[in-house]
């Protein structure tokens, strides 16, 4: 598994030129890429921007300066500020920090906007917010509305109509790769039978306690790249845990001490060695830099097995 990852992801790189305060930068080439089934390269580590609120532009700027080239956002105003991600990207491109080609920008269609024509119109709104003329990756955020997410709005179509629109947008060069998020295994199987263009990326929740093996295996068998969200465990806080059980687990802390790394770096490294792309989020400049520094070292089989054994065994909610 590690060998496969080393070969296909080209993990390499020397120690970072990053200060303890998170200033400075890592060479983005040291972070490694995967080549998607669309033929486009996607960085192994990206910056997640959910829940950053007014901090979004500043934190995204820090991430770009630290060497992140993949930025994950979405149209859903409930969690994301796509406009502020765009502000940071515009400023970084204008400062000569990178070219547009060097960045990998992901956004996601809100489920209230399912439907062929609506999906195409919403892609234009993302391009405007982000100040770019194409997206690297456009995902269907959810297969359908749930709870109060769509505020009583009846979507004009289903995820199948939106998928056809994404296929057209890709053909037109408006998006380079397309994919889905939060589709369950049955929905992924249906998509596989139904799609004219198969998804390049599937984004789902995965962490050491909830490793999402079945979906990951399906993705691997289809050559769909699996992208994990909330690898650092923040979903457990929404399930009633008072403190993050991923970053505080004794095995994670023990491995971190042994390797001279942080708990966050250990769980990100575990995910990468399982072939996942990761998109950690932080509002803290030093932690933003720390989360990128996960190449150039590896977890051995014993550490991987110890972390694998935690799947399905989250601590009890206190």
Q: Which residues are annotated as a binding site?
A: 141
Q: How far is the CB of 49 from ligand NAP (least distance, A)?
A: 5
Closer residue to ligand NAP in complex, CB, 120/261: 261
Closer residue to ligand NAP in complex, CB, 49/177: 49
Nearest to 224 by CA among 187, 204, 199: 199
Q: How far is the CB of 39 from ligand NAP (least distance, A)?
A: 24
Closer residue to ligand NAP in complex, CB, 30/137: 137
Annotated binding-site positions for substrate: 141
Question: 3-state secondary structure string, the chain?
Answer: CHHHHHHHHCCCCCCCEECCCCCEECCHHHHCEEECCCCCEEECEEEECCCCHHHHHHHHHHHHHHCCCEEECCCCCCCCCHHHHHHHHHHHHHCCCCCHHHCEEEEEECHHHCCHHHHHHHHHHHHHHHCCCCEEEEEECCCCCCCCCCCCCCCCCCHHHHHHHHHHHHHCCCEEEEEEECCCHHHHHHHHHHCCCCCCEEEEECECCECCHHHHHHHHHHCCEEEEECCCCHHHHHHCCCCCCCCCCHHHHHHHHHHCCCHHHHHHHHHHHCCCEECCCCCCHHHHHHHHCCCCCCCCHHHHHHHHCCCCCCCCCC
Are 40 and 264 within 8 A, CB to CB? no
Catalytic: which of 68, 80, 226, 229? 80
Q: How far is the CB of 311 from ligand NAP (least distance, A)?
A: 16
Q: How far is the CB of 216 from ligand NAP (least distance, A)?
A: 15
Sites of contact with ligand NAP (CB under 6 A): 48-51, 72, 141, 181-182, 203, 229-234, 247, 262, 264, 279-284, 287, 290-291
Q: How far is the CB of 230 from ligand NAP (least distance, A)?
A: 4
- Whether residue 68 lies in the annotated active site: no
Closer residue to ligand NAP in complex, CB, 10/233: 233
> Which residue's C-beta sits nearest to ligand NAP?
48
Are 108 and 74 within 8 A, CB to CB? yes
Closer residue to ligand NAP in complex, CB, 75/262: 262
- List the catalytic residues: 80
């Amino acid at each position: 598994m590690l060998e496969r990852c080393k070969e296909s992801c080209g993990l390499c790189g020397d120690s970072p030129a990053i200060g303890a305060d998170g200033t400075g930068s890592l060479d983005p080439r040291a972070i490694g890429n995967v080549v998607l089934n669309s033929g486009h390269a996607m960085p192994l580590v990206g910056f997640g921007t959910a829940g950053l609120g007014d901090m979004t532009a500043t934190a995204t700027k820090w991430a770009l300066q630290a060497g992140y080239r993949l930025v994950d956002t979405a149209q859903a105003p409930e969690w994301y500020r796509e406009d502020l991600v765009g502000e940071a990207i515009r400023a970084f491109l204008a400062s000569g920090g990178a070219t547009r080609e060097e960045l990998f920008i992901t956004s996601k269609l809100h489920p209230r906007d399912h439907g062929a024509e609506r999906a195409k119109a919403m892609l234009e709104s993302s391009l405007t917010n982000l100040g770019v003329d194409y997206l690297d990756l456009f995902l269907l955020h959810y297969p359908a509305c749930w709870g109060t997410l769509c505020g009583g709005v009846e979507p004009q179509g289903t995820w199948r109509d939106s998928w056809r629109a994404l296929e057209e947008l890709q053909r037109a060069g408006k998006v380079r790769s397309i994919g889905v998020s939060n589709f369950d295994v049955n929905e992924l199987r249906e998509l596989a039978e139904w799609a004219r263009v198969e998804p390049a990326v599937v984004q789902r929740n995965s962490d050491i306690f909830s490793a999402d093996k079945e979906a990951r295996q399906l993705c691997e068998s289809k050559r769909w790249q699996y992208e994990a969200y909330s690898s650092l465990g923040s979903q457990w806080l929404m399930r009633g845990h008072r403190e993050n059980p991923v970053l505080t687990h004794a095995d994670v802390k023990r491995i971190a001490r042994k390797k001279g790394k942080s708990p966050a770096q250990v769980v990100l490294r575990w995910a990468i060695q399982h072939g996942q792309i990761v998109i950690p989020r932080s509002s803290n400049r030093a932690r933003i830099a720390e989360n990128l520094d996960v190449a150039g070292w590896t977890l051995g089989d014993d550490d991987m097995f110890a972390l694998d054994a935690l799947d399905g065994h989250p601590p009890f909610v206190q």
